[in-house]
Amino acid sequence: MGKKYIYFFGNGKGEGSAEMRALLGGKGANLAEMSNLGLPVPSGFTISTEVCKFYYENNQKYPHRLSAELDKNLARLEKTLGAGLGDTTHPLLVSVRSGAAASMPGMMDTVLNLGLNEETLLALINKTGNERFAWDAYRRFICMFGDVVMGIHRDKFEHEVERAKKKARIKNDTDLTVKHLQDLVKKFKDICKKDTGEDFVDDPRAQLQKAINAVFSSWNNPRAIKYRELYNIQGLLGTAVNVQVMVFGNMGNHSATGVCFTRNPSTGENALYGEFLINAQGEDVVAGIRTPEPIRNLRKGMPHLYEEILRYKDILERHYRDMQDIEFTIQEDKLYMLQTRNGKRTAEASLRIATDLVKEGLIDKKMAVMRIDPQQLDQLLHPIFDPKAKKVVIATGLPASPGAATGKVVFSAEEAEELAARKEKVILVRKETSPEDVAGMHAAQGILTSRGGMTSHAAVVARGMGRCCVVGAGDVDVDYKAQRFSVNSKVIKRGDYISLDGTVGEVMRGQVSTIEPKLSSDFATLMNWADEFRKLEIRTNADTPQDAAKARMFGAQGIGLCRTEHMFFGEHRIDFVRQMILLAPEVKGLKVRIEALEDELRKAPKEKRPELKGEIAKLKKSLECPNTLYEKALHKLLPMQRSDFEKIFRTMKGLPVTIRLLDPPLHEFLPHEEQSQRGMAKKMGMTLKDVKLAVARLQELNPMLGHRGCRLGITYQDIYDMQVRAVIEAACNVKKKGIEIHPEIMIPLVCTAAEFGLLKDSINKLARTIMKKKGTRVKYAVGTMIELPRAALMADKIAEQAEFFSFGTNDLTQMTFGFSRDDVANFLPDYIEKGILEKDPFQSLDQNGVGQLIEIGVKKGRTTRPDLKIGICGEHGGDPESIEFCHRIGMNYVSCSPYRVPIARLTAARANIHGGEISSTV
């Protein structure tokens, strides 16, 4: 028997199961599973994802046996239903839907009511006795088939519907009469002929094959590709195709269609949540064409069916052990289940659902930790609108996705992407969104729609993305042509600022101030569980006591990177920093010249010594003024740095604090615009010309490879000495107050063991002197950043003296690829689009190249010093995939920005669980 490509489901039995997602896609696997559970699932069959893979690998051709297998399963479906595709007495109508292993809502294509033509239409009228329903189904089919299969933009069909309603002076599609629908069918067919030059396809079997082709082709449509890119969906075979007998929610007032969640997807409350429409098809709910009713209203009109939905809700939640997103149709008082899948939810809801399911005994703590997407936590950690702020509410809608967003109004997804790429914050305003808008929705701070409900496309996608969203704001009249929207007499134009509150559904004029969010007890519970399971320590990158306090609140176990240069940019400091920088080369030059002459003097004959002494005296006289100013600048900066470190030590008491000595090139501290240079010249008593010359002297052709990092400390040892003195004095002062401290001094940009050794000796000598004077001993460590490929390769030699390594992955990525981080935007998007690189290596660690260097550095470093403490402190420290890599190669910690600390804690736990090193806690 050959390979099986098609799997049947229905009548209480499915040939597949939920475990076959990779082969049947999520929809097909769950249809089979619901069939096996005995739920009322309309019969059908699933064409596997292997066929999609074959289709793309073989120039859009199918496996040889597929046609016969399709005929066999179609015949089985016809026999099961007692109807036939194209039969003029008992016509079989089917839906053709996509379904990949990973949920991609709305990204691929669907065709409903397939099998209708003029003959089967008459048979459907005779069978149902409902002429209006049959014509409505036919016009919907032509519209969907024309759009999905024939490539005609849906707006052309919708335009005719709107014209018909306007002419008849009616508001809703349900008010269209049989005559209206007949006229629309004729106009729809005319559109198909005009746009394609071909008549609409009447043969039902040909309709089916073309629809299957279209669904497979939709796997690689632009919006599906973009969605997979946004959500990092990789490694799938393709989409499956589900062919399923149609059930109709548009057969009258005893029919309905709806979408519901077994728990509230915004808050996580354990209560049925969703919407339905009487006398409608499923596309009406999702597309937001009509504003649906809340699911609780079904209890009034169809109480027995509402109770049946509640029963299936409990069955599905207990079976899948997760919140479910359910689609259903009621056809003439009979309930059918069309889909179930794990429901998309906000971060707040994810935490509550996970912790509640543990309390209910459905999952254990380990599974709860694995259920939370670390990136989703970002939604909880950022500011919300200040309740005391002045707000001018101009409209209200449904609170589809919580959060606060402020930005400039744009009316197209393309403009949202364009402005967001320029770092501008935007709000995307649409009548309703469609899958084509997904990239713009991702780029926007928030989404506002005038139509749609809580399960519309905009609502579902925004919740999944963590974007603030308000939908169904009916008073908002969007005018795309004029690029504005109006609410009563108020007009908001493109580029105007508005603010959205997705938690309560408010639309506000202008920008509204925000406050920090309060985290729920569910957040704390989940984080505590994560801490039980992880091995990696999580530190933070913090340069101020405020950042340190925020990170500690989020659970940071120390500071992995305190950048001393960031402290130099304070309003009252930068002048002293600039004075120090401008004078350092001059002082250094004079000192070097004096040392050379003094050395020459020792060896010089007697007669030449007076001349040398005179020259030395002149140079020393010349040195007096700049040296005094130089030392004054250092003297002024010392207490400032010391105070900074004391505050940070107090904030992080009992936890390690890694302080990186000055790293960037000195020219970064100097002004480059003439106006600023004039101000600097005036403050320092210099001429503008002298300032310009000094700035030019410090400029380098390639500053990232130039005079920076430890090279500064070797050239200008006074600067590093000042910083070391500030660290050690601060540590002594804080220790005297009974506060436990663990300072770690980090030397940046080391590439040789000799560099490190020279600077470490200087640090230790100075530290001993200070501690002796203070009468206090402080235990400290001296380590280095590994951010150059040579340092990784020579890690065993460097580790002979270094007490810890911290991989600076930003620079290591830059040096390994030969990419300038500041200029990479000019070409990197092309590299990713063309498949040269999968991801931006500055956002997610290149594990094959840069990662290989890191592994070499870890292994070689620990061959010399087995207890060597190792971490990373670049931006990758907050990226989940990079954190997993750090766990896998045995690092001790990762360090990230304060707001990424919870994400790192959760990711570290998931990495350990995924490695199979933790047993179940239930």
H and E: helices and strands count for the chain: 33, 32
Convert the pLDDT of each residue in 694-704 to its tens digit. 888 888 888 77
Angle at CA of residue 210, ends 204 and 213, nearest 5°: 145
Question: What mean pLDDT do residues 127-138 have?
Answer: 93
Question: What mean pLDDT do residues 351-359 have?
Answer: 97
Residues paired with residue 560 on neighbouring β-strands, in sequence order: none
Angle at CA of residue 470, ends 464 and 476, nearest 5°: 145
Question: What mean pLDDT do residues 520-544 have?
Answer: 94
CA distance 881 to 872: 13
pLDDT exceeds cutoff 50 at 354? yes
CA distance 846 to 337: 44
CA distance 304 to 335: 10
Distances (CA, A) of 419 to 157, 422, 424, 439, 443: 31, 5, 5, 12, 9
Angle at CA of residue 222, ends 414 and 822, nearest 5°: 60
Q: Which 8-state DSSP code applies to residue 426?
A: E
Least confident of 141-145, 418-422, 826-830: 826-830
pLDDT exceeds cutoff 50 at 150? yes
Question: What mean pLDDT do residues 361-389 have?
Answer: 87
For residue 546, the surrounding DSSP H or E stretch is helix 545-553
Q: Which 8-state DSSP code applies to residue 339?
A: E
Looking at residue 88, its pLDDT comes to 94
- Which of the listed ranges 373-377, 572-576, 637-641, 652-656 does the model predict with the highest average pLDDT? 652-656
Higher pLDDT, 826 or 409: 409
Burial of 597 (0-12, 13-18, 19+ CB in 10 A): middle
Higher pLDDT, 334 or 465: 334
3-state secondary structure 50-114: HHHHHHHHCCCCCCCCHHHHHHHHHHHHHHHHCCECCCCCCECCEEEEEEECCCCCCCCCEEEEE
Question: What mean pLDDT do residues 326-346 have?
Answer: 93
Looking at residue 829, its pLDDT comes to 80
Banded pLDDT at 809 (limits 50, 70, 90): very high
CB 301 within 8 Å of CB 293: no
Looking at residue 922, its pLDDT comes to 26
Banded pLDDT at 921 (limits 50, 70, 90): very low
Residue 647: closest CA among 573, 539, 739: 739
Looking at residue 769, its pLDDT comes to 97
Question: What mean pLDDT do residues 122-131 have?
Answer: 93
Residues paired with residue 499 on neighbouring β-strands, in sequence order: 406, 508
pLDDT exceeds cutoff 70 at 392? yes
Higher pLDDT, 675 or 541: 541
CB 763 within 8 Å of CB 784: no
What amino acid is encoded at 472 in this protein?
A: G
**Reduced to 3 states, what is the DSSP secondary structure of residue 671?**
coil
Q: Which 8-state DSSP code applies to residue 252?
A: S
CB 623 within 8 Å of CB 587: yes
Check residue 159 and give left, alpha or beta (phi > 0: left; psi -120 to 50: alpha).
Answer: alpha
Convert the pLDDT of each residue in 29-66 to its tens digit. 999 999 999 999 999 999 999 999 999 999 999 999 99
Looking at residue 435, its pLDDT comes to 66
Q: Which of 260, 562, 873, 896 is catalytic?
A: 873
CA distance 75 to 71: 6
CA distance 517 to 346: 15
pTM of the model: 0.77
pLDDT exceeds cutoff 60 at 800? yes
Residues paired with residue 658 on neighbouring β-strands, in sequence order: 744
Question: What mean pLDDT do residues 351-367 have?
Answer: 97
pLDDT exceeds cutoff 50 at 916? no
Q: Are strands 256-261 and 44-47 parallel, antiparallel or unpaired?
A: unpaired
Q: Which 8-state DSSP code applies to residue 201?
A: P
Looking at residue 624, its pLDDT comes to 81
pLDDT exceeds cutoff 50 at 686? yes
Looking at residue 897, its pLDDT comes to 84
pLDDT exceeds cutoff 80 at 737? yes
Looking at residue 419, its pLDDT comes to 95
Angle at CA of residue 27, ends 24 and 28, nearest 5°: 40
For residue 594, the surrounding DSSP H or E stretch is helix 574-603
Q: Which 8-state DSSP code applies to residue 665?
A: -
CB 251 within 8 Å of CB 128: yes
Q: What percent of the chain has pLDDT over 90?
A: 65
CA distance 428 to 401: 14
Convert the pLDDT of each residue in 406-435 to its tens digit. 999 999 988 999 999 899 999 999 998 876
* Cα pseudo-dihedral 734, 737, 739, 744, rounded to 10: 20
Extended strands (E) in 411-463: 426-430, 446-449
Looking at residue 919, its pLDDT comes to 34
For residue 763, the surrounding DSSP H or E stretch is helix 753-774
Q: Which 8-state DSSP code applies to residue 344?
A: P
Looking at residue 287, its pLDDT comes to 62
Banded pLDDT at 311 (limits 50, 70, 90): very high
pLDDT exceeds cutoff 80 at 252? yes
CA 25 to chain CA mean position, Å = 24
Q: Which of 180, 457, 742, 876 is catalytic?
A: 457
Q: Which two tokens stand for residue 476?
A: 């908002």
pLDDT exceeds cutoff 70 at 324? yes
Looking at residue 579, its pLDDT comes to 81
Q: Is the dihedral of CA 222, 226, 229, 235 positive or negative?
A: negative
Higher pLDDT, 446 or 289: 446
CA distance 628 to 717: 16
**Reduced to 3 states, what is the DSSP secondary structure of residue 484?**
strand
Q: Which two tokens stand for residue 730?
A: 């601060």
pLDDT exceeds cutoff 70 at 239? yes
CB 16 within 8 Å of CB 32: yes
Examine the residue annotation and report whether 457 is marked as an active-site residue of this protein: yes
Convert the pLDDT of each residue in 635-684 to its tens digit. 888 999 999 999 999 999 999 999 999 988 887 778 777 877 888 888 87
Q: Which two tokens stand for residue 319?
A: 């079976």
Question: What mean pLDDT do residues 904-908 have?
Answer: 95
pLDDT exceeds cutoff 70 at 289? no
CB atoms within 10 A of CB 588: 15
In the sheet with 334-342, reading across from the earlier edge strand, the strands are 293-294, 273-278, 256-261, 324-331, 334-342
Looking at residue 288, its pLDDT comes to 61
Looking at residue 145, its pLDDT comes to 97
**Reduced to 3 states, what is the DSSP secondary structure of residue 776?**
coil
- Across the chain, what does the average pLDDT equal? 90
Residues paired with residue 405 on neighbouring β-strands, in sequence order: 500
